Structure 1
């Protein structure tokens, strides 16, 4: 436990940009280009991530992509991000580092990308300010308006909000801003107190809108690990921080009322070859709850290390859960 407790409990390194470098980029660049330009600071130690969050400030930027292949073909999103970050700095809020999906998550290597996605809620645990950047613009491929309504409907945007909004229940000074053409507003409830935030699987996915060209699988498969981690986080919050668990309790109640909506066992998607049915969360939650009970019965120092009051070590419990689901299903 000594070694594991010191490392960042994530499958992939947290990749951040220095705020000065981000403001000087001129445009959003992909993770690989940022890495080659030596613009990324990669963190794999929990103590260092916590120190950066508390002492220097780390901003999590959330936004809707403005095309299928590039997040910001016309630069509208980047300019809005710069404006939002500059206003945060003008308010005296610590913001020395930036996390933003296109720069911080690998874009070319699908395995590396998936491990980073699995770690999304861990990354969010070590961010001190959340910026929902929603400039009005037009999606370059669909011609549809991008606005606050479309942003809130996007599955990936919901996942980012859920990852941050369920972390750090005991932390002081964690902030959230909605950033529109009118400026930025500090409105935690407007961003996170929305039942749709929990409905990530029911959100809009670009892959589904495109009917999964070139045989690409549905992105809904990519969210399974991180959503199970967030579910564990909610359980751990109620257990370990009951004085701050009102919202976690409310979200768990919603899940109990309609578990198949928020954690659908299966989904179907359309592609060039027709309709395909795939497994998502089938059998996972009962196993996860059983594992959580075992974790609760263990001595406190032997429990899963949970940054943000509740992220499981995905590399440990997901393979165990998958194996146990298979055993349970074959015994029926």
Structure 2
């Protein structure tokens, strides 16, 4: 029994009603300098803050002026973000397209497929009010005092909170003089980019826009569609920056928790309160233990204290989001609380009754599913020892581990009897899930334990190029002898999978050209190379061409790989490869694979 259980309102609910407004825990220490959309579109080079300021091109943004856009991006060199204006030109082209004002920015395919309540962003939203762009090289002092620059950097969460839109500018850019290739994968690995993304996803509007080129622009509406990783485990050019961001990240979380309480979103509060262990992983800082004084009834009972701080009462009762206490304890990976809940008769195999749009989870998630996805290995071992079921939801638990690239979780589940090649109702296995999300470490474990045949590997290669597999996953599968010229046969999918893609293909024919619908329309007979170009994974396309992928094959719509490239921006190395010269593709593929790629033998 939870403490205070006889009251009509929990102490947490009373506390939430006492909050008049969101506390200002993310202060703005430096003015929010921006450029107007007109100035941005006239640029022919990326100039530093001081030059723009001297010319009068910078504007200190305030809400009554219009809408602000935060641009997150990678620097193409150590001393300049975009020396050849490659990346900024793509931003300009994408903005021009958005400002046409007709149609919508499509949801990413995962969000469209699993989150029924998610909506695309009407392009009209980009023209109703004037746009102001925050971009670090323009907006943060570059040559002035280090204190001013530090204040601007520490104000980034406050800037993001004031922005109506968040753009992740992630084109595939070849940087030959730096001997690197920048991609969405490298953007997601950067510690500073992870902080910017976390600040957006923990703000009032968690969705953001991924820009890979002017025609590949999509709304990322759920964490599952572009799996997020902790800021503390990101890559930092200066390692000391990792700990500098610890307090910043904690402030972002505290602000999110206060906001959830103030607006009465108790399920949202419970999610983020218990996910602190994930958000702060790799940072030397303690999470918030709670907003309430300890429970008076049983201060030494971890379960009662857990229920008290989460505003929960009964062990097996779901809240308004359809989640039970065991599910929230699983988010935190708290073995002590999990053990206590099971001792008090919580159902180890209880499932969530509703989907969770913000996290991208379908309904019927178990506590084991959640611990596998969030890499809580001790909690996984405990739940497995308590005979948690490996199946039963929409996806086997192994698939959640595969999506999260949780290699240790895959090992634990396979040792407990998990089947690596078991398919979900749509015909996708854990191997395919790992490939789809670029989970190379999980893929390795699944290959070791599952011993897939050539068809499994070829389909995994197709899935990798269909979404976010990246060059490393593509090369691993090629090394394992996946067929680079595999052509997708939709007739091999189970009935539910065929029905889904047939429905989306029909929507495309009727003019609803979302990313998912377009992919479904062209899928039958498509090759990995076609899919890599369609999904703007140009470094993966280069890897396929370097491996000898054929250029003359056609899908069921009579399209070749060149047809998929027509009408969209593609880098020069890929243009050359599609014209039959693979030399530049081989060079770029080598650069894309250089970081962390290890040849595997089986």
- After TM superposition, the score normalised by the length of structure 1 is 0.65
* Deviation of the 1:293 alpha carbon: 5.6
* Deviation of the 1:118 alpha carbon: 1.5
Cα 1:38–1:201 shift into 2, 3 Å: same
Provide the residue aligned with 1:176 in structure 2.
208
Provide the residue aligned with 1:63 in structure 2.
73
2:97, 2:33 → 1: CA distance? 23
Provide the residue aligned with 2:281 in structure 1.
261
Cα 1:260–1:147 shift into 2, 3 Å: closer
2:219, 2:125 → 1: CA distance? 12
Provide the residue aligned with 1:214 in structure 2.
none
1:223-302 equivalences in 2 (<5 Å): 223-243=245-265, 246=268, 249-256=270-277, 261-262=281-282, 264-265=283-284, 281=285, 285=287
Residue of structure 2 aligned with 1:29, choices 47, 67, 74: 47
Q: Which of the pair is proportionally richer in strand?
A: 1
SS of the aligned residue for 1:60 comes to: strand
1:233-287: CA deviations, max 9, x gaps?
12213321233853x543432223x57624x22xxxxxxxxxxxxxxx3xx645x
1:111, 1:88 → 2: CA distance? 36
Residue of structure 2 aligned with 1:135, choices 168, 171, 181: 171
1:71-101: CA deviations, max 9, x gaps?
1122111111111221221232235211111
Residue of structure 1 aligned with 2:231, choices 200, 211, 217: 200
SS of the aligned residue for 1:65 comes to: coil
Provide the residue aligned with 1:187 in structure 2.
220
2:171, 2:226 → 1: CA distance? 21
Cα 1:259–1:83 shift into 2, 3 Å: closer
SS of the aligned residue for 1:242 comes to: coil
2:142, 2:267 → 1: CA distance? 36
Cα 1:185–1:244 shift into 2, 3 Å: farther
* Deviation of the 1:224 alpha carbon: 3.3
2:28, 2:221 → 1: CA distance? 26
Unaligned runs of 5+ in 1: 44-48, 209-217, 266-280, 295-332
1:159 and 2:195 aligned: yes
Report if aligned partners of 1:16, 1:41 keep a CA contact under 8 Å in 2.
Answer: yes
Q: How many residues align?
A: 243
1:163, 1:30 → 2: CA distance? 24
Report if aligned partners of 2:166, 2:208 keep a CA contact under 8 Å in 1.
Answer: yes
SS of the aligned residue for 1:207 comes to: coil
Runs of 4+ in 1 over 4 A off after TM superposition: 190-193
* Deviation of the 1:207 alpha carbon: 3.0
Cα 1:28–1:221 shift into 2, 3 Å: farther
- After TM superposition, the score normalised by the length of structure 2 is 0.37
2:173, 2:157 → 1: CA distance? 28
* Deviation of the 1:62 alpha carbon: 1.1
Unaligned runs of 5+ in 2: 1-22, 101-122, 294-602
Residue of structure 1 aligned with 2:59, choices 41, 44, 65: 41
Report if aligned partners of 2:69, 2:167 keep a CA contact under 8 Å in 1.
Answer: yes
Provide the residue aligned with 1:275 in structure 2.
none
CA RMSD of aligned residues (A): 2.9
Provide the residue aligned with 1:79 in structure 2.
89
Q: Whose Rg is larger?
A: 2
2:195, 2:164 → 1: CA distance? 17
1:219 and 2:237 aligned: no
Cα 1:154–1:234 shift into 2, 3 Å: same
SS of the aligned residue for 1:206 comes to: coil
Provide the residue aligned with 2:598 in structure 1.
none
SS of the aligned residue for 1:92 comes to: helix
1:95-114 equivalences in 2 (<5 Å): 95-108=130-143, 109-114=145-150
Cα 1:293–1:122 shift into 2, 3 Å: farther
